[in-house]
Amino acid sequence: EVQLVESGGGLVQPGRSLRLSCTASGFTFGDYAMSWVRQAPGKGLEWVGFIRSKAYGGTTEYAASVKGRFTISRDDSKSIAYLQMNSLKTEDTAVYYCTRESGNWYFDLWGRGTLVTVSS
């Protein structure tokens, strides 16, 4: 089955760090760019960041709201994408979705999401 499964969410204090994982199955993970999209409680969708496939350099892009604090990486041998979140703020509280990028900057496969709550 083609799917993405996120893990690693939870409750964390402001200023601390958390790493999310996204495990892919059912497709050739290394062929695709991957993005993270988040959704604050009761709010809309916000693109967080993106990592290109190794064929396109494996480079990353980030939203201004997280640039310098969040880092996306990937391990193609394990079919996992990571979102390292540092210096967390209360406004980072959201469900974080891992998504597969189609090649044209739309997202054709989504995980179920993992909730990150930043609170003291």
Partner 1 sequence: DIQMTQSPSSLSASVGDRVTITCRASQSISSYLNWYQQKPGKAPKLLIYAASSLQSGVPSRFSGSGSGTDFTLTISSLQPEDFATYYCQQSYSTPRITFGQGTRLEIK
- The contact set with partner 1 (CB under 8 A) reads 37, 44-47, 50, 61, 63, 97, 102, 104-108, 110-113
For residue 104, report the phi and psi dihedrals to the nearest 5 degrees.
Answer: -130, 30
Q: Is 43 left (phi over 0), alpha (psi -120 to 50) or beta?
A: beta
48 vs 35: CA distance, rounded Å: 7
Q: Report, in Å, the least distance between residue 96 CB and partner 1.
A: 11
Q: Report, in Å, the least distance between residue 91 CB and partner 1.
A: 17
Nearer to partner 1, 98 or 118 (CB): 98
Nearer to partner 1, 44 or 68 (CB): 44
Nearer to partner 1, 53 or 111 (CB): 111
Residues 95, 96, 102, 103: what is their CA dihedral angle, to the nearest 10 degrees?
140
State the distance between the two ends of the chain, measured CA to CA, in whole angstroms.
39
Q: Report, in Å, the least distance between residue 113 CB and partner 1.
A: 6
- Identify the bridge partners of residue 36 per DSSP, sorted by sequence position: 49, 98
Nearer to partner 1, 28 or 102 (CB): 102
Q: Report, in Å, the least distance between residue 38 CB and partner 1.
A: 11
